[in-house]
Each structure stands twice: as C-alpha cells, then as structure tokens.
Chains A and B, each alone.
Chain A
Amino acid sequence: MIALQNVCRTFTVGDQEVAALRDINLSFGAGEYISIMGPSGSGKSTMLNMLGLLDRPSSGTYLLDGGDVTDLNDEQLARVRREKIGFVFQSFHLVPRLTAAQNVELPMILAGIPVEERKARVQVLMQNYGLAERADHRPDQLSGGQRQRVAIARATVMNPSVLLADEPTGNLDQATGWEVLKLLEGLLEQGITLVLVTHDAEIGARAHRQIHMLDGRILSDEQQAK
C-alpha cells in the first residue's frame, strides 16, 4: 500500500548539493510494524517527512494506496495527510492554548467535520486513552505521558492508514515510554501501519521489520519472525 520507487532527495546547502536520500526503494503493506533506525544525518527524518507528504522527492515516485502522490498540489496533499496519515512527535507538538480535547479535535476542525460528530469521536478516544478526566486541561497541566497520549489520540482521530512516529518516547522516562509504545502497538490490531523512527536499538527491536539507514541509503531491511 506504500511504495517508494527510486526516491532521491537532495538539499542545496550554500553551493553544495547534499543528498539526504539516495535511490530508495521500499514498500510496506497494511498493518506492518516498521522501525527505521540510524545515526543522526542518516536520512531517517527526511524519510519520515517524505512518507508523511511534508517533503517531496527530488526524483522518483511515491505511491500511496495505489495512487501516485508525487505530483499532487498543496490542497490535494493536505487532504491526503488529513485522511491517511497521522503524526506523533518527540516533542508532542500540542497547541498550548487549546485544551486536551480541543487538541484532539483539531484535525477534524480542519477537515470540516460537523461539531456533533467531532464531540462524539473525541469523547470515545479520550475514554479509550484514559484521558477523560483530563479533557479540559491544557497541555502544561498534563504529564509527559498524558501529553503523548493526547498526541496519539489526535493522530488517530481521523482513522489514518499510516501512523508516523518520530522518537515518540524520546522525551519520556522509561516506564512512561513503554506505556506509550504499547499504546502505539495496540493500534496495529486495527490494521494501521506503524512507522517508528528511533535511534534506540532496544525500542527498534520490537518492530516486526527493522530498517537501518546510513548516509541516505538503506543499509539493511530485516523481517523478524513474530
């Protein structure tokens, strides 16, 4: 359902061309659990931005759910991001002015979903993630784990087919980190494709499929027996 074909991404820094991704060929199926590992500068973040349609390939083709999304315009890209992709970040990226419930509601506001449906969906998610009592709290009144749970609720509220998580446990202590990770892994049962970017080998090892990157290339791509 996701396929990158001969994807390259080069940046111009000063008068030098820097290649962040070099000729990447990769495909994921629905419901896969993938971790992308590598040292900083290996291109794993660029890969994630590419998969999330925040960045465009310099050359190559990106197929998502069978459609070519390489040359979509801004409005079409926004639509695909809204409907098919969820993001979870290391630094949570919650809007500080909005309550937990409002943060979860945000993608649905942007999508123009009617208010009754929004309220209902938010309520269900907050309940499922154990955040019902924190719904009216602002992010600065929440613990790190709670914040990341709000962020995961926000990422899944539109029922995306892919969830991209960029070091989701990086700002959490170990115990909370494991909890968040279990929450994310629980989504696999709903058929979501989970892509986890991390430099923590222990966390990366939990994924069914592990991709190692270096200098913009895929070093290894190992499928683990479940």
Chain B
Amino acid sequence: MYLRDLISLTSSSFLTYRMRSFLTGLGIAIGIAAVILLTSIGEGLHQFVIKEFSQFGTNIIAIQPGKAQVQGSSVGIFGSVRALTLEDADALRKLPYVEYVIPGMMGNAEVRFEGRTRRTMVLGEGRDFDKAFTMKVQSGAFWTDADDDQARPQVVIGAKIQQELFLDQNPLGQYLRIGGQRFRVVGVMESKGQILGMDMDDSVFIPAARAMELLNRPSLIEIDVSYRADVDAETVIRLIKNRLIEVHGREDFTIISQEQALEVLSSVLEILTFAVGALGAISLLVGAVGILTIMTMAVAERTAEIGLLRALGAREQQVLALFLGEAMMLSALGGGLGLLMGIGIAQGLHMLVPALPVHTPWMFAVLAELTAVSIGLAAGVIPAMRAAKLDPVEALHAE
C-alpha cells in the first residue's frame, strides 16, 4: 500500500465524521495552544528580563559594604563595619583583568538653572562611568580628572534634565546648581528610559567625592568593577575579595556578579516555564484520552469493514496502519490547530498589551507538534492493535 493511499483512506473516515473528528482534535489543540501560549509568554519574559539586566554589560561585579550573613541584609550586622571608600576603589583599580572601577553614590537633591528647579536623582560616579556601563553620552563627555578624590565640580546631565531645565539652550559649559553648589555641565546623556524602575534620563551624574560631600555621607554605597570579557567572573571575584580583605583586615563586604545574578534569574524563569509546560501536558493527556475513546468507538463501529478489508487481502499490519494513521492524523491536525491558536493568542495579547513580551521559539513549536503526533500514536496503539487482531470471520458478520 502506498503512503498516499494510506493518507487518503484515513482522511476519508476523518472527513466523514467531521464534527466528531474536530472535537477530538480540539482536545489536543487546546493542550498544545496552552503550552505554546504560556511558554511564549514565559520565554518572552525571560528574554525581556535578561535584556533589561544585561544592557549595562554583563561583565560587571558590584561590591557593597557589609557582609550578607543571611539573605536580604547588606547592611552591617555589627556596628563596626568598615565602609567602602575611594581608597578601596583605587586599590581595586590596580588589580589585573580590571578595566574600569566606578565608585558609586546615590541620593536626591534639588537642581536649579536660571530659576527653574527640579528634584532629581543625583548619582555620584567615577570618570569612566559611560564606558563601564555601556551608556552613551549624546554630547560632551564625562570628566577626565584622574584623581577621584580631587575631581572638580562637573556634571553630566540626563536627557530629561536638559529638556526641563535648559529648554532650547545648549547646556554644555553652563553652570547648574545642585543642592546649592555650582557644577559645570560637561556632557548630556543619550536618552535611555527606565531601567528596572529607575529613570536614568531624570538623573544627574557627578564625581563620587562631590556627591559624598553634597549628600553629607562618609562612604560609598557601592563600587562597580568591570573586567575583561575574556576572563572568568570567578577569577576576578577572588582577586577582589583577596585585595579587599588585605585592606580591610576581614571580609566586611558583599560581592555580587552580574553573571551569577543572571544565572539565578535564568534558572528561576526556566523552572517557571517548565511548570507552565507541565500544566499544558495535563491538558494534552486529556486530549489523548479523547483520541483513545474515539478510536475505540471507530473500531467497534467499523468491525464489519475491518472484516471486509481482511477478506479483500489486507494484512494485519495494513489494518493496524490504517487505524494508527487515523489517530495520528487526528492529533497532528489538532496539534497544528493548537499551534495556530497558541501563537495567534500570544501575538494578539502582545498587540493588546505591548508591554507584555512574547516569543515563541520555533524549536518549541516543532517539538509541540511532534508531541501531538506521538500522543496520537500512543493513544491509537491499543484500538489499532485490537482492530488488527480481530478474527476476520467474526468481524465480517458483525453488524
């Protein structure tokens, strides 16, 4: 028997019981649609979060004061935690593999230019801030003062600050008052939008030493180290840890690497995607039971026909192939419908709610369709075997 004939014979029964076949296929379709939809959203979310996290570059290690004894606490458990200082940052700068070291400070202050004021985020940073975090300066440049401690009062402003305070004027070379002190504007950042809830455009960047003075804080809140991309994060972490213990006398700081954070995040999202897939698998199982039921019925209804086929010279294997083929066709079409439904709903959701990222990996779609076909195969085996093993004489006389 040719494959083409097998297909046309199986589809003839499929087409005769249109409604019944459609409903049975729908069981598989809903399962596949659920799996595809949920994993599309899961995968979209995954990619979204990773992109959000890695837009600063992935080869960055953050050092925060205080040793995290238990999760959730980065503030010193003992009162005598030695804070991070600009000297620590200088010490790290001499380590191998390290490219840029950015001392970090953060606070709020009022900024003013020609009578217009705005309360905004003040970020104290180092001179290589833009290079370390892969952020672009639209005009001007970051200050170049070699000594963090002695950096002059200069400021790089966010795109929104330029719009709101300077209007149409060129801000470069102008003096901006931040918390009552005068800072010369040396650069304007390219617009970057919100990053994990922080509006980078509504910020001003000043040298860390100036920020400490302005905000009246004795120490840094963070030191960020960017290292060469060809070096393992573990190596750099070990070097930093050893150097800081040397300076501080003990480990009173916490090192967080972007790479590790991303790994943890990825694995959490993977578990989520997997759980969602498992949920879909349950509905696929229900679909499989539907196919088993309908095929069992089909064999019972067509017993006389099976007897006839045997009398006409069909082998047991051919009868088996006909019924297996029918089960697989049901599930394959159901699976295809499910793919369309799942992808359609996912894309529809994305159009309705553009903030919701969706992404359907094509490998996953192929895998889902293969799963559907295998389900049909598995569910069809028992009824098809029964059909093949029917006694031709008894089958012929069944009504």
CB pairs A–B below 8 angstroms (11 shown): A54-B396, A55-B393, A79-B313, A81-B311, A87-B311, A93-B396, A107-B313, A110-B1, A110-B313, A110-B314, A110-B318
Check if B5 sits within 8 Å of A109, measured CB to CB.
Answer: yes
Taken residue by residue from 285 to 306, chain B's Cβ proximity to chain A (1 for < 8 Å, 0 otherwise) reads as 0000000000000000000110
B397 to chain A, nearest CB (A): 9
Query: Which of B307, B309, B315, B318 has most chain A Cβ within 10 Å?
Result: B315
Contact partner of A49 (CB less than 8 A), chosen from B9, B12, B312, B393, is B393
Which residues in chain A, 67-92, are within 8 Å of chain B measured between CB atoms? 74-75, 78-79, 81-83, 87, 89
- Determine the distance from Cα of A109 to Cα of B16 in the docked complex, in whole angstroms: 20
The distance in angstroms between the C-alpha atoms of A208 and B329, with both chains bound, is 51
How many Å from the CB of A162 to the closest CB on chain B? 13
- Across the interface, which residues of A come within 8 angstroms of B314, CB to CB? 78, 110
Known pairs A49-B393, A112-B2; A95 contacts B313 (CB<8 A) = no
- Please tell me which one of the listed residues A74, A96, A98, A106 contacts residue B312 in the complex, with CB atoms under 8 A apart: A106
Q: A226 at interface (Cβ–Cβ under 8 A)? A: no
Interface residues in B355-399 (C-beta closer than 8 Å to A): 392-393, 396
Contact A97 B16 (CB under 8 A): yes
**Closest Cβ neighbor of A93 among chain B residues:** B308
Q: Which residues of A contact B16 (CB under 8 A)?
A: 96-97
A82 to B1, CA, bound (A): 13
What DSSP secondary structure best describes chain B's contact surface?
Answer: helix
CA of A102 to CA of B5, assembled, Å: 11
Q: Is B163 an interface residue (CB 8 A)?
A: no
Residues of A within 8 A of B315 (CB): 74-75, 78
Chain B residues closer than 8 Å to A95, beta-carbon distance:
305, 308
B242 contacts the other chain (CB 8 A): no
Query: In the complex, what residue of chain A is closest to B2 when comparing beta carbons?
Result: A112
Q: How far is the CA of A100 from the CA of B264 in the complex (A)?
A: 66
Q: Which residues of B contact A102 (CB under 8 A)?
A: 12
Question: Which residues of B are found within 8 Å of A216, using beta-carbon distances?
Answer: none
Q: Bound state CA distance, A97 and B18, in angstroms?
A: 12
Within the assembled complex, what's the spacing in Å between the Cα atoms of A106 and B322? 13
Q: Once the chains bind, are A54 and B311 in contact (CB under 8 Å)?
A: yes
CB of A52 within 8 A of chain B? yes
B294 CB to nearest A CB, Å = 16
CB neighbours (8 Å) of A49 from chain B are: 393
Asked if B396 and A109 sit within 8 Å, CB to CB, the answer is no
Determine the chain B residues whose CB is within 8 A of the CB of A93 once the complex forms: 304-305, 307-308, 311, 396
CB distance from B389 to the nearest CB of A (A): 10
**B-side contacts of A52, CB under 8 Å:** 311
Most A CB atoms within 10 A — which of B5, B16, B316?
Answer: B5
CB–CB A54/B393 < 8 A = yes
Cβ of A111 under 8 Å from chain B? yes
Q: Report whether B12 and A82 are in contact in the complex, using a CB–CB cutoff of 8 Å.
A: no
Contact of B12 among A54, A81, A83, A97 (CB under 8 A): A97
- Beyond A81-B312, A106-B312, 20 extra complex contacts between A and B, CB < 8 Å: A49-B393, A54-B310, A54-B393, A54-B396, A78-B315, A78-B316, A81-B310, A81-B313, A82-B312, A87-B311, A93-B311, A96-B16, A97-B13, A98-B12, A107-B312, A109-B9, A110-B1, A110-B314, A112-B1, A115-B2
Q: In the complex, which residues of chain A have a beta carbon less than 8 angstroms from the beta carbon of B396?
A: 54, 89, 93
* A74 vs B310: C-alpha distance when bound (angstroms): 10
| In contact, B309 and A110 (Cβ under 8 angstroms) | yes
> 4 tightest CB-CB pairs across the interface, nearest first?
A82-B313, A78-B315, A81-B313, A54-B392
Question: How close is A138's CB to chain B, nearest CB, in angstroms?
Answer: 10
A131-169 interface bits toward B, Cβ cutoff 8 Å, 1 = contact, 0 = none? 000000000000000000000001000100000000000
Give the distance in Å from the alpha carbon of A83 to the alpha carbon of B309 in the complex.
14
* Chain B, range 1-21, C-beta contacts under 8 Å to A: 1-2, 4-5, 9, 12-13, 15-16
Q: In whole angstroms, what is the CA distance A80 to B305 when docked?
A: 20
Q: Which of B176-200 contact A (CB under 8 A)?
A: none
What CA separation (Å) do A96 and B309 show in the bound complex?
13
Closest Cβ neighbor of A81 among chain B residues: B313
* Bound-state Cα–Cα, A89 to B392, Å: 14
Q: Chain B: which residue is nearest A110 at the CB level?
A: B314
Q: Determine the distance from Cα of A224 to Cα of B360 in the docked complex, in whole angstroms.
A: 80
Contact B312 A87 (CB under 8 A): yes
- When distances are taken between beta carbons in the complex, the residues of chain B under 8 Å from A154 are 312
* Across-interface contacts of B318 in A (CB, < 8 A): 78, 110
Query: Residue of B at shortest CB range from A98?
Result: B12
Query: B393 to chain A: which residues have CB within 8 Å?
Result: 49, 54-55
Bound form: Cα–Cα A109–B4 in Å: 10
A102 to B396, CA, bound (A): 20
Q: Chain B residues with Cβ under 8 A from A75's Cβ?
A: 315, 317
CB distance from B4 to the nearest CB of A (A): 8
Shortest distance between the CB of B329 and any CB in chain A (Å): 14
Chain B residues near A79 (CB-CB < 8 A): 313
Task: Tell me the chain B residues, 257-274 only, with Cβ under 8 Å from chain A.
Answer: none
Interface digits, A106-130 against B, CB 8 Å rule (1 contact, 0 not)? 1101111001000000000000000
B250 shortest CB reach to chain A, Å:
83
Q: In the complex the two chains form, is B313's CB within 8 Å of A78's CB? A: yes
Residues of B within 8 A of A110 (CB): 1, 309, 312-314, 318
Contact residues in A for B308 (Cβ distance below 8 Å): 93, 95
